[in-house]
Every structure is written in structure tokens, then in C-alpha cells.
Amino acid sequence: MARYTGPVCRLCRREGEKLFLKGEKCSKVKCPITVHMSKKKGITPGQHGDSRKKLSEYGLQLRQKQKAKRIYGVMETQFKNYFVEAERIKGITGENLLRLLELRLDNVVYRLGYGRSRTEARQVVRHNHITVNGEKVNIPSYIVKVGDVVAVKSKSMDFQRFKDILEVTESRAVPEWLSADHARLTGTIAARPARDQIDTQVNETLIVELYSK
């Protein structure tokens, strides 16, 4: 599947805010978006035209969809498929959409702290370092279920890579819907994530409105 491989700071600049696509590194390094804002106060980075013309309703909806896609690292067709599934599931469509994105295996690995960013977590999954309920799973988009146990493979636990990762992510808060055991590099899906347990700054209602047209 095609995937964006260019500079991630360009994506943050386009959305006019930090998306933390590099994980904790974005908090410590002064990225171009911060420098730009300090030089041009009052102008949102990547949105110079907005200082002269406000975004239309469609434009606002599109930006929220693009932001969600970039945060979770999914492409257009895949994102649309998640929306279709979210509509099919009982409940609020927007919340269902975010819940599906949160339950992706690569996102769960990131939330547990076994990847410094979602990109690294996706790589960890693809490189066969992760098991679900004791079985190797190397598909980043795999949707986990309540009760599933996600773990770093026993042969990979002593890799220096994971020691380096944990040094960076040990202070990261694990969401309430996950139960983590960093000593064993495992985590359990304790519950389906509620909307107030998902800290992604996305207005899912606008995304629903966009696809409902």
C-alpha cells in the first residue's frame, strides 16, 4: 500500500498545528512550525491564505479528515473503509470511527509505549516483533478486541531497540482502556476506548458531515 514518506513536519505545517508524528521528539525539538509562528505572529503556519479568506464549511471538514488520516497514518481508501464500518456498527458514527483507529494494532503498540511514534510502532509490527494472544501478527491494521493480549515477542524483548524505546516512552501515560506491564512488555485490551479516553484532537463530527454529503 502506498504511504507518505516525505518530511512529516510538512504535514504538521499544512494542518497548522503539531500532530506529534515523531512522538516525544516533537515535544523536545523546536520544529519549523514553532519557528514560523514566532516569526509571523497571528498567521497560522501552512494557512497563509486563511488570513485573507476563511475556510468554507467543506474546507473545515476536509481538514479534520486529513488531520485524522495523518495522525493515524492511513491512506484515503482505508480511511473511507473505516468510516463505512463505523456507520455499520451500533452507536455514534464519529466515535466509532475514532475507536476503530485506536484499536489498530500499530496504534495499540504506540499507546503501550513500545514505539516512540506510530510510524515506529507500525515498523515494529511489520518486522514480526509483536504477538496477539501468543500468535505472531505483522499486520499494522489488525483490529484488536477486548481481552486480547498484545506483547513484544519473547525473542525480541532483549533487543537494544526496545530498551531505547522504553527510555523515551516510560513517562508516557497509558490510556485507561489499556493495561500495560512494561516489565514483560505486554498489554491487555481492558475495554473499548470511550471518546473521553481518546486524546486525539480531531472533530469527528465534521468528518461524519463530510462523508454524509
Domain count within the chain:
2
Instruction: Give residue 162's pLDDT.
Output: 95
pTM to 2 decimal places: 0.79
Q: Is the domain of 132 the same as that of 166? A: yes
Instruction: Evaluate if residue 127 carries a pLDDT over 90.
Output: yes
Q: Is the domain of 96 the same as that of 115? A: no
CATH number of the domain where residue 44 is located: 1.10.1050.10
**Structural domain boundaries enclosing 54:** 8-100+200-211
Question: Looking at residues 191-196, what average pLDDT do you find?
Answer: 96
Residue 3 maps to a domain: no
Residue 1 maps to a domain: no
Residue 122 maps to a domain: yes
Classify 77 in phi/psi space as left (phi over 0), alpha (psi -120 to 50) or beta.
alpha
CATH number of the domain where residue 131 is located: 3.10.290.10
CA distances from 141 to 48, 106, 177, 199 (A): 35, 7, 19, 20
Q: Is the domain of 27 the same as that of 63? A: yes
Q: Is the domain of 112 the same as that of 141? A: yes
Question: Of residues 170 and 210, which shows the higher confidence score?
Answer: 210
